[in-house]
Amino acid sequence: MAKYKLKPHKGTVKRVKLTKKGKLKVSKASQGHKLEKKPSSKKGTFHKLRNVSKSDIKRIRILIGK
């Protein structure tokens, strides 16, 4: 009997990008609202993607199905 194929988690797929070298990248949090209170130095770094921590890589790869 064949094993079931795992479906990817759609929410995670939308939030995580896989690079050509196989690294996982996500955008930073706290960029949605209340931007008037946040310093401009912090707001400038919001659009940059950051690497996923090593402890989360295995779990996220299972979620996105890669």
Domain spans of the chain, in order of start: 7-16+52-66
Please say whether the dihedral angle defined by the alpha carbons of residues 41, 46, 50 and 54, taken in this order, is positive or negative. Answer: positive
Which residues make Cβ contacts (< 8 Å) with residue 31, sequence separation at least 6? 43, 46
Task: Locate 35 and state its tokens.
Answer: 């931007």
Q: pLDDT for 12-58, tens place per residue?
A: 999 999 999 999 999 988 888 888 998 998 888 888 899 999 999 99
Q: What is the pLDDT of residue 15?
A: 93
C-alpha–C-alpha distance, residues 40 and 14, integer Å: 27
pTM for this predicted structure: 0.73
When pLDDT is cut at 50, 70 and 90, the band that residue 6 belongs to is confident
Closest to 15 (Cα-Cα) out of 41, 50, 44, 42: 50
Reported as a pLDDT band with limits 50, 70 and 90, residue 1 is low
Q: Can you tell me the distance from the alpha carbon of 63 to that of 66, in angstroms, rounded to the nearest whole number?
A: 8
